[in-house]
Structure 1
Amino acid sequence: MTQQDLTGMYCARPENFAWFIGAGASRTAGLPTAWDVLWDLKRRYYCQEENQEISRQDVQQQAVRARIQEFMDSRGFPPEHSENEYSLYFNKIFGADKERQRRYLHKLLSEENLSLSIGHRILGALLASGHCRAAFTTNFDSVIERAFAEVSGRSLSAYHLEGSQAAIQALNNEEYPIYCKLHGDFRYDSLKNLSEDLKNQNADLAKCLVNAGNRFGFVVAGYSGRDKSIMDLFYQVLDSPNPFPHGFYWTGLKGSSIPPAVDALLDHARERGVDARYIPIETFDTLLSRIWRNIDDKPSEFGAKVHRTHLSAVDIPMPSPGKKRPILRLNALPVVELPQQCLKLTFAQPKTWDDVKQAQDTAQGRVFIAKTDAVYCWGNQSRIQQVFADDPPASAPADLPANIGDSESLALRGFMERALCAALTRDKPLLTRHKQASFVVANAHASDLSQLEELKSVTQRLSGTVPGVTAPVTDMHPEPTRVTWAEATRVALDFKNGVAWLVIDPDIWIWPPRARSVAAAFMNDRRRDRLNQKYNELIDAWAHLLLGTTSRDTEVTVSAFEGPGGPANPSFRLRTRTAYSGMRDS
């Protein structure tokens, strides 16, 4: 079954289905998945025991995870992916201290971290409009309640471990919508995370889910099937008289494998005569968007709140170029030519987005990888084989899509932006850093600093220590750390009016990044005099440094790796004169 089939089936009778939501559905809201929480707990334990400093970002690297897991194995912890990993690490870190658990979860799941996606608003609208009568979740967060309130203007009271008996009464009395948190709410006393907690679900909440499973079909989204207590509830439904009368549909990301526990559950469901399917989807958001577009009788007042904004075609004619002197210089350089080809990789086993991100982290800038409907890559063959040593791919040249500038091509735009940064910094005393944005940082410790002289003449200093400031002490970073800075520029690949632009925005890099907020006063003071003339000089210095020439209005070609450009080596052609606004002759 495809997601199109599921959409058609669901939209024909939406009131026949309940939703089961896991942590993966909250990821687009900026909240961690169960995998993220598990590795954060492992990282915490490792750092406490070994007196190490490892950030959450570091854990994205396979080599770091392997080191942590090797330590855990040496301490007699269960193997990776075992059933009781999650609860065991909660137990090791927090013991029976529920208050520490709650503080930890409050920090991870705070509403300050939330950014509702369209999928959450659609589920809130489905619940508010009666197109979904019941939803269950293992999540502690308030994403769905907030989405419900944002769309409908009403509140949604979740049933959880406090007042669990009321959930059964609401189901029996058909007091819809019902939203049930099986593991509790981090704002209240009872949480289910420890081994003893998870062995037995609250009897009332369990009965509510089992009863709902005898009334509704279920759609499962964002859930891995890791928690045995939840899987046992699904088996209880299957052993009941009328299991999932409208079907049982488990969704997972395209390219990911079906977890063995889920596969076994679906097999058992089919043996019981249930229409049980595993359905690959792009994301939770895309599935819910498909459903919302195809549901009849949607309340019109919810439409604008679901989408929040609407795209409208705008056609404002550009004025004809003038011949007078420019009045504004801009910080964007025209990119005359972008790479047209890359390598398309083919694997024996499908690759997920997490696989690709892990490979990109392992490559450390020697290979660039992106995943859309296929896996694309730049880099030489030997390094590609090293990065994907567990499943060496075949590669072949492939044309890149022509719509890189479209908002829907963000993955490919990021792919190209990383390669462009590498091309601009190759063989220069510069470093690249990619967080929420791409930064190019002056490397004051390089052996040859001659190329940085123009930048230094403008800024006087290239790097140093932020005086009187230490990085914030957190549970993950218990020791005070000095804060350092370096001259840098944000780099972005942007598209306007069908033209590609390299946007350079001089800035200051702060290390460690978590200290950026406490170093704000220092950065403001350092940037205080960067007004028209000095900012103009900074733009010149960075443009000359990145393009490797001081020539005006000429073209420069740069490539990410040594050798000629081609499918394995992206090259870019740029003009050295920045964009500007001019006055018309009239």
Structure 2
Amino acid sequence: MIKTLTGPQFSSTFCLRPEQFAWFLGAGASAAAGIPTGYSMILDFKKRLFCQLSRISLREVDANDPLWQQRIDLFFSTRSELPAPDDPTEYARAFEAIYPTAADRRTCIEQAVTRGTPSFAHRVLAALLTTRRIPCVFTTNFDQLVETATTLTDQLVPANERANMTTAAIDNAERAERCLRESSWPFLAKLHGDFQSVELKNTTEELREQDVRMRRVLGAACARFGLVVVGYSGRDESVMAALTEALAQPNAFPGGIYWVTRSASSVLPAVSELLEKAAQSGVTTAIVESPTFDELAGDIIDGISLPPVLLQHVQESRPTQILAELPLPAREQRSFPVLQCSAIPILSMPKQARRIEINTVITTVRARELVRDAKARAVVASVGREIAAFGSDAELLRAFAPVGGKIAGTIDLHPDTDSWALGLLYDALTWAISRGRPLLPRLRRKGHAIIVASGLPTDSPERVAARKEKLSHLRQAYSTPLSGTVEGYGYPFSEGVQIRLDCVANRWWCAFEPFTYVELPRTEAGDGASHDEGDDNVASFVRRANPIMDWQRERWAGRRNKEWARIIAGWAKLLPGSHDGVVKAISLREDSGPGQDAEFRLSPVTAWSRPSHDHDYFQRSGR
């Protein structure tokens, strides 16, 4: 298993002995300097070739759009011009297909590389070269960013301290051989040539035969130094073969191989194979995860000393820090302002439910159907071949008789880890809050709600009076009727709340959000819609156009903080029910026999949030 390091971890190792490492730069190392990466050039080549073959205008195709990328890949998957995406030869094949002649390829490269400006990372690398901390750099890039950056840093130090780096391309490889033979450091070896070189290595045939002399220089350097690879994917077979051959030398890569990449999971198989072979040969190997070359350079510059003039030169181009340290508030917290939350704490809730063993596996939906068919009062959830339930044992046995149900003690509930337990308690809480009060539960897959019951025309005067008494605080909070019909439509409406069972700050809460429920005709709610999906009233339930959406919006538009505070307080007082806040989902009677009820105890005091510190904003009105 290849070890993975972070940028700072690598920096600690590198800064102890920087002179023992050669560097290898790929196209990714020049990305921050404005030079197209190999991947972006592949996209551009494939786009141009696609437009040529399909006769589509270049202006109509965005190569960075994933949809266009899929379309282009699908197009070439049925043709022979290009290999499959991510094939190591993809870049070379695409380049040769769009620019068949060496002269055209040289012109293309020249136009791409002359737009770049040395980045922060190039300045760091140049400073290390000028101070002779790095002996040699190998690169497959055609740009002159390293040379330009090193020339600038050389001019900042006295003449006798300048590095005067030697640059060798494939058409003057003897320079690199001489530097290596005479230990004349530092030098830069351009394995694929310079954009001004007569010879460039881009196509499959060109890359297959790496220049023998340059290959020998790379191998010899690997016998003397460790290697830091940055921005290189490992696509070139010739380069990877040269690195693999270097492993056969005695004491190869004495400083180790450190392969820098954005993510360890993104390295190509050829890279993994090289690192594994190196590790088997006793070479220290590691993958260094660093998002960009600039970030890696920042880690290095923070751990190494440079002459002040070079440090200033480097820091001038350092990217602006996104995260900055800020002093923590020192003043004491204020008691006000505070925010009232529409949530009441659940002081206690069921820890166990009745366990029912059955002879087959059924879903929770099927379990509810069995309960409904048996006209039993129960709340159930399926757990494979078991049912967790609240209700009378007799009614539960009657409901699950078709599947061989039998009572098997109790089952522990862990809603924080078991979704079925959370769903069971959520259902039970909704039923418990509405049980025995003028409230109706609306259980939906997208979230449950409780609405005010408008009553029936046949209700007795005593029942009507009792309902009004229980809803008196809520009616005062709304200052409008709690139920009625939508003017112009005739649809019945009722005020209600969406209910959620949430665990926040290590405790359970009954969160609620007021809304206005409107009973839409089934034809307008959607023909054939199931009971679980036919509710267009709550925002989280919306699936179709709601004909009374504007009416609902207008009904709530005029309610400001004071009105909202009254409404939240009204529901907070109504939901817990009795003075002790105990609500039960089943309310088992004494003559019901044994069973398991779902008992919750709710607090009528809502959650409040106050500032943890003082702030000038809170002083704006002189309070």
TM-score (norm 2): 0.48
Residue from 118, 121, 146 that aligns with 1:119: 121
Partner of 2:238: 229
Partner of 1:138: 140
The answer as to whether partners of 1:214 and 1:245 remain within 8 angstroms in 2 is: yes
Give the distance between the partners of 2:150 and 2:265, measured in 1 at CA: 30
Shift of 1:156: 4.0
The answer as to whether partners of 2:99 and 2:105 remain within 8 angstroms in 1 is: yes
Give the distance between the partners of 1:83 and 1:252, measured in 2 at CA: 17
Task: Return the letter of the residue paired with 2:262.
Answer: L
Partner of 1:199: 208
Partner of 1:284: 293
- SS for the counterpart of 1:191 is coil
Partner of 1:302: 310
* 1:331-342 paired onto structure 2 within 5 Å: none
Residue from 104, 109, 130 that aligns with 2:108: 104
Residue from 33, 36, 42 that aligns with 1:38: 42
Task: Return the letter of the residue paired with 2:176.
Answer: A
Residue from 210, 218, 232 that aligns with 2:219: 210
Shift in CA distance, 246/136, structure 1 to aligned 2, threshold 3 Å: same
Larger of the two Rg values belongs to structure: 2
Shift of 1:259: 2.0
Partner of 1:190: 199
Shift of 1:2: 2.8
- SS for the counterpart of 2:24 is strand
* 1:152-167 paired onto structure 2 within 5 Å: 152-153=154-155, 156-167=165-176
Structure 1 gaps, min length 5? 314-586
Task: Return the letter of the residue paired with 2:76.
Answer: M
Shift of 1:256: 5.1
Whether 1:27 and 2:31 are equivalent positions in the alignment is yes
Partner of 2:181: 172
Give the distance between the partners of 1:210 and 1:70, measured in 2 at CA: 40
- SS for the counterpart of 2:178 is helix
Partner of 1:72: 76
Shift of 1:309: 6.3
Give the distance between the partners of 1:57 and 1:276, measured in 2 at CA: 42
The answer as to whether partners of 1:98 and 1:189 remain within 8 angstroms in 2 is: no
Whether 1:85 and 2:87 are equivalent positions in the alignment is no
The answer as to whether partners of 2:176 and 2:217 remain within 8 angstroms in 1 is: yes
Per-residue Cα deviation, 1:124-151 (whole angstroms, up to 9, x for no partner): 1111110111110010011111111122
Give the distance between the partners of 1:72 and 1:84, measured in 2 at CA: 15
The answer as to whether partners of 1:23 and 1:138 remain within 8 angstroms in 2 is: yes
The answer as to whether partners of 1:122 and 1:292 remain within 8 angstroms in 2 is: yes
Give the distance between the partners of 1:257 and 1:185, measured in 2 at CA: 28
Give the distance between the partners of 1:249 and 1:168, measured in 2 at CA: 24
Give the distance between the partners of 1:80 and 1:23, measured in 2 at CA: 18
Task: Return the letter of the residue paired with 2:72.
Answer: I
Per mean C-alpha deviation after superposition, the further-off stretch among 220-229 and 82-91 is 82-91
Structure 2 gaps, min length 5? 156-161, 325-623
- SS for the counterpart of 2:63 is helix
Shift in CA distance, 163/74, structure 1 to aligned 2, threshold 3 Å: same
* 1:399-478 paired onto structure 2 within 5 Å: none
Task: Return the letter of the residue paired with 1:305.
Answer: H
Shift of 1:4: 2.2
The answer as to whether partners of 1:128 and 1:152 remain within 8 angstroms in 2 is: yes
Give the distance between the partners of 1:114 and 1:55, measured in 2 at CA: 24
Residue from 47, 60, 64 that aligns with 2:51: 47
The answer as to whether partners of 2:121 and 2:297 remain within 8 angstroms in 1 is: yes
Partner of 2:257: 248
Shift in CA distance, 52/309, structure 1 to aligned 2, threshold 3 Å: closer
- SS for the counterpart of 1:60 is coil
- SS for the counterpart of 2:57 is coil
The answer as to whether partners of 1:21 and 1:220 remain within 8 angstroms in 2 is: yes
Per-residue Cα deviation, 1:84-123 (whole angstroms, up to 9, x for no partner): 212111221222x21111111111111xx22322111000
Shift in CA distance, 57/44, structure 1 to aligned 2, threshold 3 Å: closer
Shift of 1:3: 2.3
Give the distance between the partners of 1:164 and 1:82, measured in 2 at CA: 29
Shift in CA distance, 90/26, structure 1 to aligned 2, threshold 3 Å: same
The answer as to whether partners of 1:40 and 1:56 remain within 8 angstroms in 2 is: no
Per-residue Cα deviation, 1:407-439 (whole angstroms, up to 9, x for no partner): xxxxxxxxxxxxxxxxxxxxxxxxxxxxxxxxx
Partner of 2:557: none
Task: Return the letter of the residue paired with 1:307.
Answer: Q
Give the distance between the partners of 1:166 and 1:152, measured in 2 at CA: 20
Shift of 1:18: 0.7
Shift of 1:169: 1.2
Shift of 1:214: 0.4
Question: How many residues are matched?
Answer: 309
Per-residue Cα deviation, 1:40-73 (whole angstroms, up to 9, x for no partner): 1111111122221235981111111111112222
Partner of 2:277: 268
Shift in CA distance, 2/98, structure 1 to aligned 2, threshold 3 Å: same
The answer as to whether partners of 2:47 and 2:61 remain within 8 angstroms in 1 is: no
- SS for the counterpart of 1:158 is strand
- SS for the counterpart of 2:167 is coil
Provide the alpha-carbon RMSD of the alignment: 2.1
Partner of 2:6: 2
Task: Return the letter of the residue paired with 1:301.
Answer: V
The answer as to whether partners of 1:158 and 1:180 remain within 8 angstroms in 2 is: yes
Partner of 1:12: 16
The answer as to whether partners of 2:126 and 2:146 remain within 8 angstroms in 1 is: yes
Task: Return the letter of the residue paired with 1:18.
Answer: A
- Fraction of identical pairs, as percent: 35
Shift of 1:164: 0.7
Per-residue Cα deviation, 1:313-362 (whole angstroms, up to 9, x for no partner): 9xxxxxxxxxxxxxxxxxxxxxxxxxxxxxxxxxxxxxxxxxxxxxxxxx
Shift of 1:5: 2.3
- SS for the counterpart of 1:246 is coil
Give the distance between the partners of 2:167 and 2:98, measured in 1 at CA: 28
Task: Return the letter of the residue paired with 1:43.
Answer: K
The answer as to whether partners of 1:210 and 1:233 remain within 8 angstroms in 2 is: yes
Partner of 2:532: none
- SS for the counterpart of 1:78 is coil
Shift of 1:24: 0.5
The answer as to whether partners of 1:218 and 1:249 remain within 8 angstroms in 2 is: yes
The answer as to whether partners of 1:122 and 1:288 remain within 8 angstroms in 2 is: yes
Per-residue Cα deviation, 1:157-193 (whole angstroms, up to 9, x for no partner): 4211111122111111011101110000111210001
Give the distance between the partners of 2:104 and 2:96, measured in 1 at CA: 11
Partner of 2:492: none
